[in-house]
Amino acid sequence: MKTKEIYDYLERLSNLLRNEERREGMDYGLQPVQLEALYYLSICNRYSDTPMGVVDYLGQTKGTVSQSLKLLEQKGYISKHANKQDKRSIHLKVTSSGKKLIKTLIPPPLITKACNNLNEEEQNQIEIALKQLLQTIQFSNGMKSFGVCQTCRYNLTKKDCSFFCELTEEPLSMSETQCICREHETIIS
């Protein structure tokens, strides 16, 4: 078993990333958790851009997430929109200045510099291994997968190549199918 070795590498990597996020976010008055919430909202779909979506994705308490979202809104990085069907439900959209900030800070220079020193094959191998590890952690612990439509059992690709979600019974645009989703369920082969 390599549990300890895998843990040690993950722990070191997450420390490096967290420190980098802390340093980078400081210039903008943002903590790592606030940056992570903003990044999540920039890559998730319309079924997932809610405060509960952020809670589930980050695994933080509702109180912490609520404070983070409040700050992001005050700084003009996100805006709140009422759900047209259910006025009690709120969607959080990343504003243009939020998108600009994400583009500046993510991926952090730490990762970009490292990838510049890895060839394509090495990068592919790392991506596959990390994906497998993430999926195994999620599956083994009964966590939400937060995947994209392509790997979801509810995704239906129609004959005309358009996409449809069989869970929400709504059509999906091509760009939406590339966003991560809170309702995603991995196809079991």
Q: Quick one: CA torsion of 125, 130, 132, 136, rounded to 10 degrees?
A: 160
Please count the CA atoms within 13 angstroms of the CA of 90 that sit on its side-chain side: 11
Q: Please, which residue, 20 or 183, has the CB nearer to ligand SF4? A: 183
Q: Please, which residue, 74 or 162, has the CB nearer to ligand SF4? A: 162
Minimal distance in Å, beta carbon 183 to ligand SF4?
A: 4
Q: Is 145 in the site for ligand SF4 (CB under 6 A)?
A: no
Strands (E), 29-119: 78-82, 90-94
Minimal distance in Å, beta carbon 128 to ligand SF4?
A: 21
Q: Is 44 in the site for ligand SF4 (CB under 6 A)?
A: no
Binding residues among 156-175 for ligand SF4 as defined by CB under 6 A: 165, 167-168, 172
Q: How far apart are CA 96 and CA 76, in angstroms?
A: 9
Tokens representing residue 112 in the block: 């970009």
Q: Which of 132, 141, 68, 58 is nearest to 98 (CA)?
A: 68
Binding site for ligand SF4 (CB under 6 A): 45, 47, 149, 152, 154-155, 165, 167-168, 172, 181, 183-184
